[in-house]
């Protein structure tokens, strides 16, 4: 049975034109089975974040396809791509991107509010707040719901960002250096949370340069010179929540 959730086919991305053109991705191919924790590694500036943004439809390739459940997201309407970003994908970044004027609960609620009018949000608000409170409990922040971001530690802010990313129960969590802005102890704490989420069935694709972080994934791929050069099983001794059957296309 094919359990591929996401597949990137021959992804090319460049910036600029003519003599100033910079080719970042030169034909990246990748399959992500449901339930996998996959890490993309590579040197700084190799295109890891660009590739992650394309997987999440935050950026578009010059050429190639990103298939979600077998359907190319870039051949669909802008409205459908927006739905994909909001409902199917959760994003976690190195910098938390929390709204300073909102409290923790309100920050987590932001993705739920997208697409609602004032009237429909009034109807949906109670259920959404309940879901946000449950998500904060899941990440260990139920007692911080009324605090603002400037009252939290870096690790707590990242937990808020993770709760916000998961509020719509996305099929895929994309994480861009989620421990890169944290000290070693706090980073290990966030990584432990991500592993727990994956053990519960959450599919995760993360970019990192940290080998310790990567060791907790099921699989590591290395991006070099615009293509994936190497695929290795991680050494953390963990098994995927769903058995991976797909392989990177060569």
Q: Which residues of 135-156 are buried (b: 16+ CB within 10 A; e: fewer)?
A: bbebbebeebbeebbeebeebb
First-to-final CA distance of the chain: 21
Three-state SS for 16? coil
Q: Per the domain annotation, does 109 fall within a domain?
A: no
Task: Give which of 198, 30, 10 is closest to 41, Cα–Cα.
Answer: 30
Least confident of 11-25, 72-86, 208-222, 233-247: 233-247
132 assigned to some structural domain:
no
Give a yes or no: residue 203 inside a domain.
yes
Q: Are the C-beta atoms of residues 217 and 239 closer than 8 Å to each other?
A: no
The number of folded domains in the chain is: 1
What is the Cα–Cα distance from 49 to 40, expressed in whole angstroms? 9
pLDDT given at position 245: 32
For residue 151, the model assigns a pLDDT of: 95
Q: 140-175 pLDDT, tens per residue?
A: 888 899 999 999 999 899 899 999 999 989 999 999
Cβ count within 10 A of residue 40: 26
39-47: average pLDDT = 88
Question: Residue 65 has what pLDDT?
Answer: 96
Judged against a pLDDT cut of 80, whether residue 138 lies above it is answered with yes
pLDDT reading at 247 higher than 70: no
DSSP-based three-state secondary structure for 71: strand
pLDDT of residue 1: 40
Rounded mean pLDDT, 41-49: 87
Instruction: State the pLDDT at residue 124.
Output: 74
Alpha-carbon dihedral 149, 162, 51, 180, rounded to 10 degrees:
60
Q: What is the pLDDT of residue 185?
A: 87
160 close to 92: Cβ distance less than 8 angstroms: no
In a domain, 250, yes or no: no
Residue 166 included in any domain:
yes
Q: 196 or 210, which is more confident?
A: 196
Residue 171 lies in a domain: yes
In a domain, 26, yes or no: yes
Rounded to an integer, what distance in angstroms lies between the CA atom of residue 135 and that of residue 137? 5
Segment of 91-100, 116-125, 196-205, 237-246 carrying the highest mean pLDDT: 196-205
Looking up residue 95, the CATH number of its domain turns out to be 3.40.50.300
Is 247 inside any structural domain? no
By residue range, what is the domain housing residue 42?
4-100+152-233
* C-alpha–C-alpha distance, residues 86 and 115, integer Å: 9
Of the chain, the percentage scoring pLDDT greater than 70 comes to 92
Of residues 28 and 212, more confidently modeled: 28
CA 54 to chain centre: 11
Identify the three-state secondary structure at position 189.
helix
Quote the pTM value. Answer: 0.85
Q: What is the mean pLDDT of the chain?
A: 86
Tokens of 167: 């509020």
Residue 24 has which token pair? 């970042």
């Amino acid at each position: 049975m094919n359990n591929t959730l996401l597949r990137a086919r021959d992804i090319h991305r460049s910036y600029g034109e003519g003599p100033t053109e910079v080719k970042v991705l030169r034909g990246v191919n990748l399959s992500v089975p449901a339930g996998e924790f996959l890490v993309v590694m590579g040197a700084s500036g190799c295109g890891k974040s660009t590739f992650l943004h394309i997987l999440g439809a935050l950026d578009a390739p010059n050429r190639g396809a990103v298939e979600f459940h077998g359907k190319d997201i870039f051949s669909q309407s802008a409205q459908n791509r927006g739905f994909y970003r909001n409902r199917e994908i959760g994003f976690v970044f190195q910098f938390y991107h929390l709204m300073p004027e909102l409290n923790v609960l309100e920050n987590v609620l932001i993705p739920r509010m997208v697409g609602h009018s004032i009237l429909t949000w009034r109807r949906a608000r109670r259920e959404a707040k309940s879901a946000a409170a449950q998500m904060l409990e899941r990440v260990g922040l139920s007692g911080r719901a009324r605090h603002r971001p400037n009252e939290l530690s870096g690790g707590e802010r990242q937990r808020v960002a993770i709760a916000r990313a998961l509020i719509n129960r996305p099929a895929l969590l994309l994480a861009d250096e989620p421990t890169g802005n944290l000290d070693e102890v706090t980073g290990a704490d966030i990584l432990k949370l991500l592993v727990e989420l994956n053990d519960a069935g959450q599919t995760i694709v993360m970019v990192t340069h940290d080998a310790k972080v990567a060791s907790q994934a099921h699989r590591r791929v290395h991006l070099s010179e615009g293509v994936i050069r190497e695929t290795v099983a991680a050494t953390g001794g963990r098994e995927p929540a769903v058995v991976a059957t797909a392989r990177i296309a060569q």
